[in-house]
Amino acid sequence: MTTHHRHFGRAGFGLTAFGAVAATVVLAAPQASAWVGNLGVAGTDHKVGCSYKLTASVEVDRLTSVKFTDNGRDIPGSPVSPSLLSGTVSITWKPTTAGQHKLEARQLLISDSITVTVGEAAATGSAGCGGGLGDLLGSGSAG
């Protein structure tokens, strides 16, 4: 029985080593958009109080929800569950403060982030937000 136990130990070590190598490859792959990636924000000249669409791609794992944050704080409506039929996930972001905002989309241990500069609210209120289709449609990364 001892021999059998040692053999099992070697097999277990081999499986553990393989698992460690596989995990390293997976964790090193976020730049390849393995899970969540390509985070983008719609619009330009972002202002406090205006709404913008954040969109991220989810190319592999369409079962795990995506958490969106703004400077480390959850964006209302987050996390978002991806659709099995779509390669993207979106949420509406409405900045409440001016300055630099680090926007992040995270799925398990993989994340993508962008930095956006937000200006003071327009004196004309929501009319100063642009209101055009460009604010609702994705335009790629900013920052």
Place of tokens 């390509």: 38
Per DSSP bridges, beta strands 99-107 and 88-93 are unpaired
Shortest CA distance to 135 belongs to which of 74, 143, 127?
Answer: 127
The pTM of the whole model exceeds 0.75: no
71: left (phi over 0), alpha (psi -120 to 50) or beta: left
pLDDT in tens, 80-124: 998 888 889 999 999 999 999 999 999 988 999 999 999 998 766
pLDDT in tens, 15-70: 454 444 444 444 444 444 457 899 999 999 999 999 999 999 998 777 889 999 99
